[in-house]
Homo-oligomer: A and B are copies of this chain.
Amino acid sequence: MTGRLIGVGTGPGDPELLTLKAVRVLAMADVVAHFAKEGRTGNARATVEGFLRPDAVELPLRYPVTTEIPHDNAAYAAAIATFYAEATAAVAEHLAAGRTVAVLSEGDPLFYGSYMHLHVRLAPRWPAEVIPGVTAMSGCWSQAGLPLVQGDDILTVLPGTLPESELTRRIADSPASVIMKVGRNLPRIRRALEGAGKLARAVYVERGTMDRTVTTPLAAKTDDSAPYFSLVLVPGWEGRP
């Protein structure tokens, strides 16, 4: 028996947006690993509730820090490096015992997913497969019914953590944008959109495809609070066809 690593995209949140392949793999995996903050159930794990083999071993991987320390801080880098080394060792132990390990990933595993850190460390040593998933951004623009890009449009995906001048420049330079990691960055994102002359076209979506979802033109949103699961969309497809 050879251990097998499978990165499983669990999609944007609605369990019905799991793929058939993800469902099949989750129903047979010996071990199901999932990332979460201490004391929380990660969103990916919540999405797959009811889809796991009843006797599957669960392997929660607990981030030691998330947003408490700035990410350019050496203490953050050290804590995260230790965390990924330990997570790799924990998964490797199951692989060495010949087990199939499914690692859950919100959205799509290789698109900003924590699974990537395990993949680069383990795929050279064991058979590894990645099951793509519906991204959070697809979930959000579908929920909003907002056509995003068409034909020869260009799309830029930007983390809201970028400096304001950088956000402004890139939003202005791209017909369509998706701004991720909104959260506490919302005031800066607003200013960048205004600076790029695109605030009026921006749409804010919170918890796309999940319960208690919110969709509103960003200009109509009166407060600056935004959860982690929120995005700003700037459609590129205007006045056409």
Contact = CB atoms under 8 A, between A and B. Distances in A.
Nearest to A21: B16
A39 interface: no
A71 B240 CA distance: 14
Given A151-B71, A154-B156, A237-B116, A134 B108 contact: yes
Interface stretch (A55-63, A157-165, A191-199, A212-220): A157-165
A149 B111 contact: yes
Contacts of A141: 110-111, 132
A155 interface: yes
Given A7-B142, A15-B20, 10 more contacts: A71-B151, A81-B241, A111-B138, A116-B237, A119-B147, A128-B145, A132-B209, A149-B157, A151-B159, A152-B159
Interface of A: 7, 9, 11-12, 14-21, 23-24, 71, 80-81, 84, 108-112, 116-117, 119-120, 123, 128, 130-135, 138-139, 141-143, 145-159, 161-162, 170, 174, 209, 237, 241
